[in-house]
Structure 1
Amino acid sequence: MIKNIIFDLDGTISKSAPGILNAFEYALEKMGKTYSRDDLYKYIGPPLRDSFVKELGEDLADQGVDFYREYYFNKGLFETEIYDGIKDLMENLNSGSYKIYLATSKGEDSSKKILDYFGILDYFSYVSGSENNKNTKKKVIDHLLKENNLKSSESIMIGDRSYDIEAANNLEIKTIAVTYGYGNKEEFEKASFIANSPYEIINIIEKLK
């Protein structure tokens, strides 16, 4: 029986691409790096520093992250919106007595600000972000499980990228891949279930009772 619903944020709850891409562009321009905006979409989801290591190298990655955060926390944080049906989904899960959690490669404070901005923070029992050496999605999810004494067999992870699916699979957690986010078909191959919209998620979960 599934009792715990774990959500990714970017590409699963929020259409976060504009703010993230604008912040990447700002940082890369500050570093004198040429880029293609289309090529930056692959960095929506992975840990931030890892993305800058790939673009700038190990020695310059931290400076790139600083520039990214300079833009993101001042402006990019709210250059986003939530997907149609997310609020209805949260209400349905809450009324169904499920516990709702967030596991994200974003920081915890910024994630809470986004959830609060859209009026859905109160639905979440716990937010696990990338602070304190939780530099992989597996570590973020594992931290959430341990801090809340959750059983993998009673939990399901919902995300849009391979990082979400693979991390949850490694922790023996069932998964729902959402096709409306920033992943592609190949990233969903190992998911337990696939949902094409937030409205389909509740139907999948209800069948797992």
Structure 2
Amino acid sequence: MTPMHKTIVFDLDGTLVDSLPDIIASFQYSLMSLGLPVPTDTEVRVLIGHPLEEMFEHFAPGQDVTRLCSIYREHYPRNFVNRSRPFPGVLELLRTLRERGYKLAIATTKRTDMARRFVEALGMMPMVDHVQGTDGFPHKPAPDVIHRALGALGGAKGLWMVGDTTADMQAGRAAGLRTYGVTWGNHDAALLATATPDEIQPDLGQLLQHLPPLPRA
């Protein structure tokens, strides 16, 4: 029997990529374009990681959420690498983990098509084995997106879920993975601690200490 691939699952925004400024700008643009009140950066940031529809419903109750989402999805891909960049050391980390024999998956609240376009635009697609978005099934903290990502890799064995929000930590635990919370994204250490991750770190460097090279087949 062929052994299952050992896989590390990563959230995308706020974990691998510092993408909040471009997300917030497109969100605010969508509201502004319909003449609706525009929340501050801080107000939007609190809800990042939730489905786009829920975010617009929160800030524009009773408005045409479908239209707002459409505007966002037109504007964001044209502007999603204006300021977005991988966090320091991320590309080197991904390369090292691949060299050590691990499979790497991304599991994000973004829709799959948008997530893949974003990862490709940043030049990161060759460094991961699968990009899985949330398309019509429960979003984090439900574990569905993680299960889909692992299933796309042939039922791979997930080892760690790496993310920047309590929802990432809850989803990882629900999927049976160890959880690693990084504080350079959307949730600080105190908030992440409420989800009791296995690790809370200011960056991804400590992750390598848990993942030595795998034996060669």
- What is the TM-score when the length of structure 2 is the normalising length? 0.85
What secondary structure does 1:157 align onto?
strand
In structure 2, relative to structure 1, the CA distance for the partners of 1:122 and 1:57 (3 Å cut) is same
Which is richer in helix? 1
**More divergent stretch after superposition (189-198 vs 70-79):** 70-79
**More divergent stretch after superposition (68-77 vs 166-175):** 68-77
**More divergent stretch after superposition (85-94 vs 198-207):** 198-207
In structure 2, relative to structure 1, the CA distance for the partners of 1:77 and 1:53 (3 Å cut) is farther
What secondary structure does 1:106 align onto?
coil
Equivalenced residue count is: 206
What secondary structure does 2:129 align onto?
strand
Runs of at least 5 residues in structure 2 that lack an aligned partner in the other structure? none
Q: Distance in 1 between matches of 2:211 and 2:62?
A: 41
Counterpart AA for 1:141:
I
Q: 2:165 aligns with which of 136, 161, 167?
A: 161
**Equivalent residues of 2:180, 2:198 under 8 A apart:** yes
Deviation at 1:202, TM superposition (A): 1.3
- Partner residue, 2:22: 19
Aligned ranges for residues 1-209 of structure 1 at < 5 Å? 3-31=6-34, 32-57=36-61, 60-131=64-135, 133-137=136-140, 138-148=143-153, 149-151=155-157, 154-189=158-193, 190-206=196-212
Runs of at least 5 residues in structure 1 that lack an aligned partner in the other structure? none
**Equivalent residues of 1:90, 1:120 under 8 A apart:** no
Counterpart AA for 2:129:
S
**Equivalent residues of 1:102, 1:124 under 8 A apart:** yes
**More divergent stretch after superposition (183-192 vs 78-87):** 183-192
Aligned-pair identity (%): 25
Q: What whole-Å deviation, never above 9, does each CA across 1:51-86 have from its counterpart, x for those lacking one?
A: 112112365322221121121022235431111101
**Equivalent residues of 1:77, 1:110 under 8 A apart:** no
**More divergent stretch after superposition (164-173 vs 82-91):** 164-173
Q: Distance in 2 between matches of 1:94 and 1:76?
A: 26
Deviation at 1:18, TM superposition (A): 1.3
What secondary structure does 1:74 align onto?
helix
Q: Distance in 1 between matches of 2:201 and 2:212?
A: 13
Q: Distance in 1 between matches of 2:192 and 2:211?
A: 17
**Equivalent residues of 1:22, 1:76 under 8 A apart:** no
**More divergent stretch after superposition (9-18 vs 40-49):** 40-49
Deviation at 1:207, TM superposition (A): 10
Q: What whole-Å deviation, never above 9, does each CA across 1:128-183 have from its counterpart, x for those lacking one?
A: 1022x1340222112223333133xx421000011101111122211100011111
Deviation at 1:107, TM superposition (A): 2.1
Q: What is the RMSD computed on CA atoms of the aligned residues?
A: 2.4
Moved segments of 4+, more than 6 Å? none
